[in-house]
Chains A and B, each alone.
Chain A
Amino acid sequence: MNNKNSNRMVEISGIIAGAIGPGKVLTDKDILDKYSRDETADLSLLPDILVRARDTSDVSAVLKICNDNNIPVTPRGAGSGVTGGALAARGGVILSLELLNKIIEIDCENMVAVVEPGVITGDIRRAALTMGLLYPPDPASLDICSIGGNVAENAGGPMAVKYGTTKDYIIGLEFVLPDGSVITTGGKIVKNATGYNLIGMLLGSEGTLAVITKIFLRLVPAPGASKDILIPFDTIDEAIDAVGAILRNRIVPSALEFMEEDAIKLVSKFFSGNIPFPDAGAHLLIKIDGSSDDSILSDMEHISEIINVDPEKIIAAESDIQRDKLWKARRSIREAIHLEDPAFMAEDCVVPRAAIPAFVKELKKFFEIRGLKSIMFGHAGDGNVHVDVLRSGRGYDEWKMLQPSLKEGIYKMAISMGGTITGEHGIGFSRKDYLHLALSCDEIELLKRIKKAFDPKMILNPGKIFSDDHKEPDDSPPC
C-alpha cells in the first residue's frame, strides 16, 4: 500500500467511525490479516479497513460513504467460503455481518424464520427443530457458515436432492444497495408473482449486488421419522446405477451421497481402517424421511428390492449414535484430505446425474496422466461432484503454476457432459477467469449490465465473478 492510499484509508475509516461509532471500525494489522483469508486454500487478500456492522443502519451508512468516495466494499459473513468470495480483492472495506446475528423470530403459525445474516445456519436449524420445524439446506459447513453467506452463494448440501437448495427457502429479504438505500422484498408469504424476483437476483450473487441485512426463511414440518443406510458397491457404475433405479422408482430420499474408491481409502487411512466397508469400490449413503415409520419402511423395502446388492451388506441406522457412525466417513473426507496435505484444490462441479461415473472415470484418468491423486465424493442425487486434487508431492510453485490448467480441464469436462462449473460454492475470486467456459459473451455482458443496474459505481465486492469488472460493459472486447 502506498502512502497516498494509506492516508486516504485513514481518512475514510475516520469518516465511517464518525458515522457509526469508533468501536466498530478496525484497522489493526493483526485483525486485518485474519480477515484477509477465508476457507479458500492458499489465498490471502488484505483489506484496508474492517467494519463490524451491528444493524441495517450501520450497513447503510458504510455503503453510502464508500459509494460516495469510490471505496470497494466486500461483505463477509462467517468467512467459510472456498472461492475467496468474501476477500477484499481490491482492498478497501471488509463489511463484516458477524454481529448481525439475531434469530429475530420463529413464527410457527406461518412457518417462517426471520433472521439476521450473521446467524450460523446450524443454529437456525436447531432453533426450528425445537418447534417441530425444519430448515432443510444443510451445507457441510453448517456449524460454521452464516445464513447470509448461504444466500449469497446459494448453498446446497446433502438434503438438496429432496428439499432443494437455499434458493428454495428464501421468501423475503431486506437488503441495502450501494447508495445506502434499504429495500425489503417478500416477507412471510409463500406465493409471490409480484414483478421482478429480486430475491432470485440476490441468490448466488456473491455480495456483488447488494448487502443482505434480514432474511425470511420458509420452514417445513420436520419429518416425523427417518432412517439412514450405507450400501457398499464394487464399482462407482453400480452405485450410480442404483441411484438412477431408486429415483426412477419414485423414491425420493432426503440424502443420496456417494464416495468413490480413493475417497474411501483415504478416510479409512484417517480412521486406521475403522470404517464400514473400507475396501468397497463405492459407498452410497441414503437417508429416507417421512411422516411415519410405515412410509419409511415401505421405501426401504422397495430400495432393497430394486438395487442389486446382498441385503446382508446394507447397514441401517435409526439412533443418532448409529447415524453418526454411518456418516463418519463421509463427513470426515475434508479433514482427512487436509491431514494428507493442506494445499489441495477443491472443485464442486455439477453433471447430469447419469454422467457421474463417466465424469469420475475420465477425470481420474486426466489426473493420473499428470501423476496426481484425486478424491471424489458428493451429492449423487443431484449430480454434484466434489473433486479434490492432492498436490501429490509437487513443489509449491509448480503446484501453483499447474492449477489453472487443471481447473480448466475439470470445468471443460463438466461442461462437455452437460454440466456446469460449480454447484454450491460459487465463482468468487478463484473461478472468475473461467466464467467464460460456462457462459457466452452475450450472457456475461448481460450479467455485467445487471451488476451495473445495482451498483453503478462498481464498489460492491469488485474483482469477483467477472474477470474484467473494472471495464465498462460495452467496452469489453468481443469474445
Chain B
Amino acid sequence: MEKLNISRLKEIVGEKNVKDDPADLYIYGTDASVHQAMPWAVVRPENAGQVQEIMRYANSEKIPVIPRGSGSGMCGQTVPVNGGIILDMKRMNKILEINLEDVYCRVEPGVIDDDLNKALKPYNVFFPPTPASSIIATIGGEIANNASGVRSVKYGAARDSLLGVKLVLASGDMISFGTTTRVEASGYQIERIIAGSEGTLGVIVEATLKFVPLPTIRCLGMTNFNKLEEAGDSISEIMASGCTPSMLELVDNVAIKAINNALKLNLPDVDAILIFEADGMVKEAVDFEITKIKDICETHGGFGTELSFDEKERERIYTGRKKLFPSLSKYKELMPSTSLADDMTVPYSKMAETTRKIHEIAKQNNIIMSAYGHCGSGCMHTKILMDTTKSESWKAAEKAVAQIYEYVNSVGGTTSAEHGIGISKAPAFKIEKAASLELMRGIKKAFDPNNILNPGKLQDASDDWLNATKLRYTVSDKCE
C-alpha cells in the first residue's frame, strides 16, 4: 500500500473520483459472495484514456488493479485479495450507438443491463443475456463473467451476444477485436476469451453487442410434480422435442417452502415445479410450442398446470421464481442463504439426479441446500442455508461444496454456468481444469506479464476458499 501514489491517481481522474477513506474501501472490498478484503484505493475513470493512464501507472509500479462494475458477482471476482486499486467502471455508462440497420449497439462497460434494454425497447429489440441481477448488473461485468439468465435457453449467454470488445491491456495499450458484423475469421477471436475472463486479461472499455427482435407474444406456464424425476424426464423430452422454450426453470421443494414462508403464495408442497415460457411473433406458433411443452409435462405426471398469455397473469405465476433468491433466507430462522456452490452446469439429462444428489450431500453434512435453475440449459443454482455465526457450519459447507463439484465433474458438467469462478469456486475449477492450468497461466501472461490485473483469481486463486480472504460474516466461535 505504501507504494500507492494517491495524488498521481487524482491527477488522472480528478480529486473526487479517487476514494481512500476506510468506509468507502470497506464497501468496495466485498461483492455478493462470502468474501471480503480491503483495497488500497477506489478510482472512477470517465473514459478509456483515463483507464489507459491508470494502467500505465499501475503497471510501472506493479500495483494490482481490479476492474469492477456493480459488485454483484457471487464468487468474489472483484474482491481484492492482494489489495490494490479497484477500478470502478460505473461512470463509463454511455450507450454510444444503436444501429438498427446493421443490428448492433456499442456501449461503455458501466451501462446497466436494464438501462440498455430500456433504450432498446422503443425499437422493439432487446439484449437477451439478462441475468436475474439485471437491475444492477453492468454490461462489462456480464461480459467478464459470461453471464446469462432465464432466457438464455433460447437466446444464449453474454458471449453469444458479444460481437467485439475494446480493451485496455495491463500495459495501457488499447486494442479492439471483433467487428460490427456477424461473421469474422481474421486471426484469433480475442473477444471470445475476454467473455468469462473475470477482469484478469484486460479492462473492457467498450463492447459491441448484437440484439434480437423483442417477441410480441409470450405464454408462461407452471406445472407441479410429485417426483423430481418426473420433472427431469420432462426437461429432456421438451428440449429434444423441437421446442425452443424461452424459459424452462426448475424449482425444488426447499425453494418452494422458502417462497411460501416468505411470500405466502401457497404453492403446492410438491417435490418440484417447472416454469416454462414460449415466445414469438405469431400466436399460432407460440400456442403450438406451449401446448407441446404442457403435454410433455403432463405425460410425465405434471399436474395443476397454469398457462397464460396475459401479462398480469404471467407476472403473478412468475412471482415466486422472481423472488426466490431473497426468499431463500426465509426458509428457516437464523439460516441465511450464502452464495456457495452457487452455480454449475450438468447435461440436461442429469438435472433431476443432480438435484437429488445436492439434497443428499446437504443431509450428510447437516446443512440445508436448495436447488433450482435454468434447466433448459443444464444450469443449476444452489444456496447453502446455514447458521453463519458458527465455524462448524462453514466446515460443513466446505465439505459439501467439494462433494458437489466432485459429482458435477463426474457426470461431465462444469464448475460454472453463468456466475464465474472468482475465489469461492476456484478450488473446484482448478480440479476440473487441472490439465489446462499451465496453458491458462501462459495466456494470462501473454496479456498481463506483470500479473497486475485482478491477481489471485481463477487459475491463480487459492486452493482453500474458506481461508483465502476474510469472510463477510461474523463467525462468533472462531478462534482467531
Contact = CB atoms under 8 A, between A and B. Distances in A.
A404 interface: no
Interface string A429-458: 000000100111011101101101110000
Interface in B148-177: 148, 152, 156-157, 159-160, 169, 173-177
A177 B439 contact: yes
Q: Which 7 A-B pairs have the closest CB atoms?
A: A200-B192, A453-B442, A449-B446, A382-B182, A250-B213, A221-B242, A191-B417
A252 B282 CA distance: 13
A189 B345 contact: yes
A294 B446 contact: no
Interface string A86-107: 0000000000000000000000
Contacts of A443: 175-177, 190
B207 to A, nearest CB: 15
A204 B187 contact: yes
B394 to A, nearest CB: 24
B188 A205 contact: yes
Contact of A189 (B282, B289, B378): B378
B197 A196 contact: yes
A154 interface: yes
Contact of A186 (B145, B288, B414, B416): B414
Contacts of B444: 196
A357 interface: no
A201 B188 contact: yes
Nearest to A422: B185
Interface of A: 108-112, 132-133, 153-156, 160-161, 164-165, 167-168, 177, 181-201, 203-205, 209, 220-222, 224, 244, 247-248, 250, 252, 290-292, 294-295, 298-299, 350-354, 379, 381-384, 418-427, 435, 438-440, 442-444, 446-447, 449-450, 452-454, 465
A299 B284 CA distance: 12
B348 A193 contact: no
11 contacts: A110-B348, A112-B347, A153-B185, A164-B182, A188-B412, A192-B196, A193-B418, A247-B103, A443-B176, A449-B445, A453-B445
B189 A203 contact: yes
B246 interface: no
A185 B345 CA distance: 13
Contacts of B377: 190-191
Interface in B411-458: 412-421, 429, 432-433, 435-436, 439-440, 442-447, 458
Given A352-B180, A419-B181, A201 B280 contact: no
Interface in B329-356: 343, 345-349
A189 B197 CA distance: 19
Given A167-B189, A446-B447, A195 B175 contact: no
Contacts, number: 283
| Residue in A224, A291, A299, A420 with the greatest tally of chain B CB atoms within 10 Å | A291
Sorting the interface of chain B by its residue count into under 10, 10 to 19, 20 to 34 or 35 or more gives 35 or more
Contacts of B160: 164, 168
B187 A435 contact: yes
A86 to B, nearest CB: 15
B146 interface: yes
B459 interface: yes
Contacts of B402: none
A298 B378 CA distance: 33
B186 interface: yes
A442 B378 contact: no
Interface of B: 99-103, 124-125, 145-148, 152, 156-157, 159-160, 169, 173-177, 179-190, 192-193, 195-198, 201, 213, 236, 239-244, 280-282, 284-285, 288-289, 343, 345-349, 374, 377-379, 412-421, 429, 432-433, 435-436, 439-440, 442-447, 458-459
Given A294-B285, A450-B446, A195 B185 contact: no
A280 to B, nearest CB: 24
B189 A294 contact: no
Nearest to A221: B242
Contacts of A184: 435
B183 A423 contact: yes
| Residue in A184, A198, A205, A452 with the greatest tally of chain B CB atoms within 10 Å | A198
A439 B187 contact: yes
A201 B192 CA distance: 7
Given A109-B349, A353-B102, A447-B187, A196 B458 contact: yes
Contacts of B169: 442, 446
Nearest to A453: B442
A295 B429 CA distance: 44
